[in-house]
């Protein structure tokens, strides 16, 4: 069975969507081909890199991409998941052939304030929230869990 493509979208493609794609790949990558993109891509957030490195996942060499470039590529995504606020999610394009569009709003690590350690702790919480959603998604959609 071919892998189903999943696109995670956030504003900057620097933290939330990157973490979601990496966690899906780690959790049930044998069933899904995750990608991530942003409305206004920036650079990878070092807090997201560190939070995932704590789990043994390295995204330090990832690059960001514009969601509209992905949309123009004509790829078909059975799942498109926005991980930003409602207002930001409204700016996302509609992908042809999408069968399921999900919205999982998470706090934006790029907006966290405080010391580095305080911002890292909040990023870890977002990572763990994303991981819980990914676990639930995999429980619901992975073939292995239905065998």
Catalytic residues: 10, 84, 92
Q: How many residues does the chain have?
A: 147
3-state secondary structure of 91: coil
SS3 content of the chain, % helix, strand, coil (to 5): 45, 15, 40
Name, in order, each residue with C-beta under 8 angstroms of 64's C-beta and a sequence gap of 6 or more.
12, 13, 14, 18, 37, 38, 41, 42, 43, 44
Q: How many whole angstroms separate alpha carbon 64 and alpha carbon 43?
A: 6
The C-alpha R_g of the chain, in whole angstroms, comes to: 15
Sheet holding 100-103, edge to edge: 32-38, 4-10, 79-82, 100-103
């Amino acid at each position: 069975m071919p892998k189903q493509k999943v696109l995670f979208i956030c504003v900057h493609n620097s933290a939330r969507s990157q973490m979601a794609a990496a966690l899906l790949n780690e959790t049930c990558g044998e069933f899904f081909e995750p990608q991530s993109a942003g409305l206004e891509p920036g650079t990878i957030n070092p807090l997201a890199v560190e939070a995932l490195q704590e789990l043994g996942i390295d995204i330090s060499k990832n690059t960001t991409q514009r969601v509209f470039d992905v949309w123009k590529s004509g790829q078909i995504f059975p799942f498109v998941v926005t991980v930003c606020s409602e207002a930001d999610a409204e700016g996302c394009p509609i992908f042809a052939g999408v069968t399921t569009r999900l919205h999982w709003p998470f706090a934006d690590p790029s907006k966290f304030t405080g010391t580095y350690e305080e911002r890292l702790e909040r990023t870890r919480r977002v990572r763990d929230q994303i991981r819980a959603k990914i676990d639930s998604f995999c429980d619901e959609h992975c073939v292995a869990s239905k065998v």
